[in-house]
Amino acid sequence: MDSAYLRLIIVIAVYLVLGFYGFQAVKTVIKNPWIHTVYRVLFFGTPAALAYFIYSREPGDSFSGMPAISAGVFMAFLVLITILALFMLIEDIYRVVAWMMNHIVGVDDEDQSYMPSRRQFISGLAIATGTVPFAGLLYGMYKGKHNYQVRKYQVEFDDLPASFDGYRIVQISDIHAGSWLKSTDYKRVKYGVDLVNKQEGDLIVFTGDMVNDRADEVYEWSHLLSTLTAPDGKYSILGNHDYGDYYGPFREDPVAKDKNLQNLLTEQRNMGFDPLLNEHRFIRRNGEEFALVGVENWGTGGFSQKGDLDKASEGLTNDSFKVLLSHDPSHWREQVLTHTQQFHLTLSGHTHGFQFGIEIPQLKWSPVQYRYKEWAGIYQQGKHFINVNRGFGFLGYPGRVGIWPEISVITLKKKGEA
């Protein structure tokens, strides 16, 4: 038997066992047949919908839209039944071990072999525990993915030109327009775009991943994104997804891949963005200036490394105040901190904060922190700062739980100034 089919059979078998075993908890606590029917519909319907949308995709299409939504619902249900099955398994193991121990020592357990009251309690606890992540994942798909948060930071520098004291940079990142469905997401995305404008930044920067794979993903959103405005303009860089590296047909057709990238850059310019491709621009006020430096994607862990700091900062001196746009935060530790030029503030994205985690006053956690040391928010090392934006959009799982989409507002301050 082909190994792929064998793996599929194993996955189906595990899913069936989890589903049927988990159903025992539902039957024990809930006697309503309508709830049983809902469970069965989810049990059979979610994998069927996922299979349908996966196999009806066009070859090479990114995993977004309805395939991603069906995968999200399936994942939420899978988490639920796994928790239910785990609780029931532990309870059954306990009963078997207790029966064996009683049998060995000769205790008469005839009246306690089933213990329905304990099974009722364990089943109820399983349902209560499993419902939390199940509801959370569904909420993340319905509301969380557009729960835009404005995060304001103030960063102080000794050598900031005095004219830029109080200067406000608004940063967004990781739009991933191909993940949005205009029919359901437009109003909420428009709210987010309007919220960016309401911050009244002096400058707007976008730090990469405008699309998932193809330039045409952003076409129907171009008019909306073109409404982003700031007095000193808006600038963009490329992220790893913008090159089309993950789109199957482009792997076989480098000409089409390059054309796709040029189309994306053209579209960004049409929207009013100035793409920085290993180059810099000067932002000027009252005879003073700072350099806005933008590099192409550079990342560790197998991501493309097209960024060139030397080229981007050519002609600048170490005395020049610099704000660097670099999509992948791993670039900061690998090259930026040790570069001969000082880049005072780096603005990155890429991590999405994993779109899942916990951020409360005493706890900030996400699985992505085990991959990226700098994964969300402001970090400092010496006189160097980096802000890792949590992203404006989403990819893969079509939602966010605990790590909400972000609009960063960074105010530059001259240290010692009132």
Query: What is the per-residue pLDDT for 59?
Result: 63
List the one residue out of 76, 13, 17, 71 whose CA is nearest residue 47: 71
List the one residue out of 299, 298, 344 whose CA is nearest residue 156: 344
- Please name the amino acid found at residue 235: Y
Map residue 64 onto helix, strand or coil: coil
For residue 298, the cross-strand partners are 305
What are φ and ψ of residue 268, in 5° steps? -60, -40
Q: From first to last of its 418 residues, what are the pLDDT tens digits of the chain?
A: 567 678 878 888 999 999 998 898 898 888 899 999 999 999 999 999 988 888 877 666 667 778 888 989 999 999 999 999 998 888 888 777 777 777 777 655 555 544 567 778 888 899 999 999 999 999 999 999 999 999 999 999 999 999 999 999 999 999 999 999 988 999 999 999 999 999 999 999 999 999 999 999 999 999 999 999 999 999 999 999 999 999 889 988 999 999 999 999 999 999 999 999 999 999 999 999 999 999 999 999 989 899 999 999 999 998 899 999 999 999 999 999 999 999 999 999 999 999 999 999 889 999 999 999 999 999 999 999 999 999 999 998 999 999 999 999 999 999 875 5
Rounded to an integer, what distance in angstroms lies between the CA atom of residue 261 and that of residue 25? 52
Are the beta carbons of 17 and 85 closer than 8 angstroms? yes
Decide: residue 399, CB within 10 A, 0-12 exposed, 13-18 middle, 19+ buried.
buried
- Top-tier CATH class for 148-414: alpha beta
Are the beta carbons of 221 and 279 closer than 8 angstroms? no
Rounded to an integer, what distance in angstroms lies between the CA atom of residue 250 and that of residue 253? 5
Rounded to an integer, what distance in angstroms lies between the CA atom of residue 304 and that of residue 330? 12
List the one residue out of 297, 378, 327 whose CA is nearest residue 173: 327
Are the beta carbons of 367 and 403 closer than 8 angstroms? no
Rounded to an integer, what distance in angstroms lies between the CA atom of residue 391 and that of residue 255? 30
Decide: residue 305, CB within 10 A, 0-12 exposed, 13-18 middle, 19+ buried.
middle
Query: What is the per-residue pLDDT for 164?
Result: 97
Are the beta carbons of 345 and 323 closer than 8 angstroms? yes
Query: What is the per-residue pLDDT for 88?
Result: 87
What strands lie across the sheet with 345-348, from one edge to the other? 279-285, 288-294, 322-325, 345-348, 384-388, 377-381
Map residue 200 onto helix, strand or coil: coil
List the one residue out of 325, 392, 328 whose CA is nearest residue 355: 392
The tokens for 102 are 């009683």
Query: What is the per-residue pLDDT for 65?
Result: 77
Query: What is the per-residue pLDDT for 83?
Result: 94
Half-sphere exposure of 276 (CA within 13 A, CB side): 30
**pTM summary value:** 0.90
The tokens for 247 are 């789109």
Give residue for tokens 């990114």: 62
Please report how the helices 66-105 and 116-142 are oriented relative to each other, as an axis angle in degrees rounded to 10.
Answer: 160
Half-sphere exposure of 2 (CA within 13 A, CB side): 3
Domain ranges of the chain: 3-142, 148-414
- Exposure letters 45-63 (e unless 16+ CB within 10 A, then b): ebbebbeebeeeeeeebbb
